[in-house]
Amino acid sequence: MDNFDYGIIGGGPAGYTAAMLLAKQGFSVVLFEKDKLGGTCLNRGCIPTKSFLHSSELYSKILKSEEIGISFENLKFDFSKVIEQKDKTVEKVRKALELAVKNSGVKTVYEEACIIRENTIKAGEEIYTIKNIILASGSKPKEIPGFEFDGEFILSSDDILNITSLPSKVLIVGSGAIGIEWARIFSNFGVKVYISEIAEHLLPNADIEVSKRIERIFKQNGVTFYLKNRIEKIDGKTVFLQNGEEINPDFILSAVGREPVCNIEGCSSIIGDACGEIQLAHYAIQQAKKIALGTECHKDLIPSVIYGEPEIAWLGIREQDCDETYKIVKLPITALGKSWCDNSTEGFIKVITKQNQICGVHIVSKEASAMIHTFLVAMQNNISIDNLKNICFAHPTYSEGIAEVILGL
């Protein structure tokens, strides 16, 4: 029987971060993972999806490159190579993670863990005595009642990573981060994309102006979407929507979110997706840091990012949540010389303020994922707008848009 200060169930971002940070402080730590280190993010989410997205964007840009003086003959792509690149990327990142966990002094056990009594875990044939048990068991794709996953026609966000060829038509149900990014991937590759969303707008959790801009971009790119709608029934491969539309996709991607995997009692703490709060890898990491290091974890200051062209990022209060006491200033990305150089003029930077403080930021732009963090630092440290006006941003950059919009406040 082995004895440890900490036993962590689940090797995703929450689990492996907590494990390494605790081990570096001198605690004995065992990390249980029944599959592969990295969790959903590395193996079935963030990393493989972004690899697909990069390939699709590159292909899409090449198709449009004649306007900047670059042309190709007989352009084609090999989807098997796209998959191969995705797999290589995931494998490289995972191996680096495995090495980092090993070097930190954490013992990793690749078995399903079961808490059999207080402070005792069984994994495989071994018994472990644990002073503190942390559950970081993650989440799983949420199913639509009556339209459960079958891995062939109704696919989850896990299943979609296993496709070996591109469809000609696909129906995506849900338009959160997963739905939007896969719509972009498929559309970039020339697939006809349909989206069904039960809310009034795409990206229902975003600022209303962000949602409307993405709807406009999707219309320009030939993506068809149906709002305030849902699947009524499926007959063979014909999908009947509530609004009377009939679609014959090659398959359906159900992207209606994820739900916690949390069916174990006897834990000191539950972190990451398993706790049922904000289901983002960086929030899971922040929760792990709070447990291991005692750092603060500001739930209201967790940035959201959706990848693709253009990127989408937001933080803090939305326009639809504001009253007349807030001030809103917006800068079009066309105001930035760098955007014209890059042929990436779509989007805006929108800032919501109150009493000389930034309360919300919403960006649709190339490099939005980088720009949002400047605002995050300012908001978390209560840096006033007046002080932000003293910062010199390099020219020409997208980040100088931050300076431009702040000058308008």
3-state secondary structure of 249: coil
Asked if the model's pLDDT at residue 71 lies above 90, the reply is no
Mean pLDDT of the chain: 95
Phi-psi region of 203 (alpha: psi -120 to 50; beta: other; left: phi over 0): left
CATH class of segment(s) 301-407: alpha beta
Amino acid at site 395: H
pLDDT over 70 at 7, yes or no: yes
At residue 76 the predicted structure's pLDDT band, cuts being 50, 70 and 90, is confident
Residues 398-402 have a mean pLDDT of 96
State the average pLDDT over residues 144-162: 95
- Token pair, residue 121, equals 């875990």
Q: Name the strand (E) or helix (H) holding 100.
A: helix 79-103
Residue 279 reports pLDDT greater than 90: yes
CATH superfamily of 143-254: FAD/NAD(P)-binding domain (3.50.50.60)
Domains 2-140+258-293 and 143-254 share a fold: yes
pLDDT at 263: 66
Q: What type of residue sits at position 56? A: S
What pLDDT shows up at residue 408? 87
pLDDT value of position 130 = 95
- Centroid of chain to Cα 140: 14
Predicted pLDDT of residue 3: 92
292: helix, coil or strand? helix
pLDDT category at 348 given cuts 50, 70, 90 is very high
Over residues 99-138, the pLDDT tens digits come to 999 999 999 999 999 999 889 999 999 999 999 999 999 9
Give tens-digit pLDDT for 241-255.
999 999 999 999 999
Q: Tell me what pLDDT residue 64 has.
A: 87
Query: What does each C-alpha distance from 196 to 201, 216, 238, 255, 312 come to in angstroms?
Result: 10, 16, 14, 10, 20
**DSSP type of residue 106:** -
CA 340/CA 343 separation, integer angstroms: 5
Query: Residue 21: its pLDDT value, please?
Result: 98
Note the pLDDT tens digit of each residue in 13-43.
Answer: 999 999 999 999 999 999 999 999 999 999 9
**Residue 268 scores a pLDDT above 80:** no
Contact (CB, 8 A) for 177 and 279: no
For the chain, the structural domain boundaries read 2-140+258-293, 143-254, 301-407
pTM here is 0.95
Minimum mean pLDDT range among 117-126, 264-273, 347-356: 264-273
Residue type, 51: S
- Residue 61: phi and psi, rounded to 5, are -65, -40
CATH class as words, domain 2-140+258-293: alpha beta
Contact at 8 Å (CB) between 288 and 282?
A: no
% of residues, the chain, pLDDT over 70: 99
Q: Decide if pLDDT at 1 tops 70.
A: no
pLDDT tens for 135-150 read 999 999 999 999 999 9
User: For residues 311 and 306, what is the distance between their CA atoms, to the nearest angstrom?
Assistant: 6
